[in-house]
Amino acid sequence: MNVTLRSRIVFCHIVSVICGTCFFNSFANAQNQNTAQEQNADRPNVLMICVDDLNDWIEPLGGHPQVKTPAIKALAEAGLNFRNAHCQSPLCNSSRTSVMLSRRPATTGVHGLNPWFRKIPALAKSKSMPQYFADAGYETYTAGKVYHNSWGRNLPAGSDPEFQHWGPGGWPGITPPKKLIPPTPAGNNPWVDWGVFDHQDNQKGDWKVADWAEEKLTVMPGDKPFFMAVGFFLPHVPCHVTQKWWDMYPEETLQMPPMQKNERANCSPFSWYLHWNLPEPRLSWLEHHNEHKNLVRSYLASISFMDSQVARVMAALEKSSHADNTIICLWSDHGFHLGEKEMMGKTTLWERSTHVPLIFTGKGIEPRSSNQPVELLDVFPTLADLAGLPVPEFVEGVSLVPLITDADAKSKRPAVTEHNPGNSSIRDERYRLIHYADGSEELYDMQQDPNEFNNRIDDESLAEVKERLQQYVPHNQVPLAPGSGQRILEEREDGLYWENQKIDPDNPPMSTGSTEKADLPRKVLSSK
Angle at 378 between CA 372 and CA 384, to 5 degrees: 125
Angle at 387 between CA 385 and CA 391, to 5 degrees: 30
Nearest to 109 by CA among 481, 498, 501, 483: 481
Between CA 212 and CA 296 the distance in angstroms is 30
Lowest mean pLDDT among 10-24, 52-66, 133-147, 472-486: 10-24
Which residues form the catalytic set? 92, 148
What percent of the chain is modeled with pLDDT above 90? 85
Fill in the amino acid letter for 79: G
- pLDDT tens digits for range 490-512: 999 899 999 999 999 999 999 99
Asked if the model's pLDDT at residue 296 lies above 50, the reply is yes
User: What are 358's strand-pairing partners?
Assistant: 331
Instruction: Output phi, psi for 356, to 5 deg.
Output: -135, 155
> CA end-to-end span of the chain, whole Å?
97
61 shares a domain with 18: no
- Cite the DSSP H helix spans in 220-338: 243-246, 283-288, 292-319
Confidence tier at 452 by pLDDT (50, 70, 90): very high
63 shares a domain with 15: no
Instruction: Output phi, psi for 449, to 5 deg.
Output: -140, 65
Angle at 492 between CA 489 and CA 497, to 5 degrees: 35
Instruction: Output phi, psi for 358, to 5 deg.
Output: -155, 115
Confidence tier at 154 by pLDDT (50, 70, 90): confident
Fill in the amino acid letter for 382: T
In terms of pLDDT, which residue wins out, 128 or 3? 128
- Cite the DSSP H helix spans in 356-460: 379-386, 401-405
- pLDDT tens digits for range 178-192: 999 999 999 999 999
**Domain with 177 in it: what CATH number?**
3.40.720.10
156 shares a domain with 96: yes
The length of the chain in residues reads 528
Between CA 460 and CA 458 the distance in angstroms is 6
pLDDT at 39: 57
The count of C-alpha atoms lying within 13 angstroms of the C-alpha of 460, restricted to the half-sphere facing its C-beta, is 0
- pLDDT tens digits for range 22-40: 444 444 444 444 444 555 6
pLDDT at 517: 80
pLDDT at 383: 99
98 shares a domain with 36: no
Between CA 454 and CA 263 the distance in angstroms is 9
Confidence tier at 527 by pLDDT (50, 70, 90): very low
pLDDT at 34: 46
Between CA 27 and CA 31 the distance in angstroms is 6
120 shares a domain with 1: no
Between CA 311 and CA 286 the distance in angstroms is 32
SS3 content of the chain, % helix, strand, coil (to 5): 35, 15, 45
177 shares a domain with 78: yes
Using DSSP's 3-state secondary structure scheme, residue 415 falls into: strand
Between CA 327 and CA 519 the distance in angstroms is 50
Asked if the model's pLDDT at residue 345 lies above 70, the reply is yes
Asked if the model's pLDDT at residue 361 lies above 60, the reply is yes
Tell me the torsion sign for CA atoms 449, 453, 455, 459: negative
pLDDT at 20: 43
386's CB contacts (< 8 A; 6+ apart) are: 44, 46, 327, 360, 362, 365, 401, 404
Between CA 340 and CA 33 the distance in angstroms is 57
pLDDT at 507: 94
What percent of the chain is modeled with pLDDT above 70? 91
Q: For residue 489, how far is the Cα from the chain centroid? A: 21
51 shares a domain with 38: no
- pLDDT tens digits for range 370-406: 999 999 999 999 999 999 999 999 999 999 999 999 9
Confidence tier at 526 by pLDDT (50, 70, 90): low
58 shares a domain with 26: no
DSSP for 484-507, written as a single string:
-BSS-EEEETTEEEETTEE--TTS
pLDDT at 13: 45
12 shares a domain with 58: no
411 shares a domain with 356: yes
Between CA 136 and CA 36 the distance in angstroms is 10
DSSP for 60-120, written as a single string:
TTTSSTT---HHHHHHHHTSEEETTEE-SSSSHHHHHHHHHHT--HHHH---SSB--GGGS
pLDDT at 17: 39
Asked if the model's pLDDT at residue 152 lies above 70, the reply is yes
Contact criterion met (CB below 8 Å) for 330 and 72: yes
215 shares a domain with 111: yes
pLDDT at 308: 99
109's CB contacts (< 8 A; 6+ apart) are: 120, 477, 478, 479, 480, 481, 484
117 shares a domain with 32: no
pLDDT at 159: 78
- pLDDT tens digits for range 417-443: 999 999 999 999 999 999 999 999 999
Between CA 67 and CA 140 the distance in angstroms is 33
Between CA 33 and CA 254 the distance in angstroms is 60
> What is the domain count for the chain?
2
Lowest mean pLDDT among 61-70, 214-223, 288-297, 447-456: 214-223
Query: Residue 487 belongs to what domain range?
Result: 43-397+406-527
Confidence tier at 68 by pLDDT (50, 70, 90): very high
pLDDT at 514: 77
Between CA 267 and CA 218 the distance in angstroms is 52
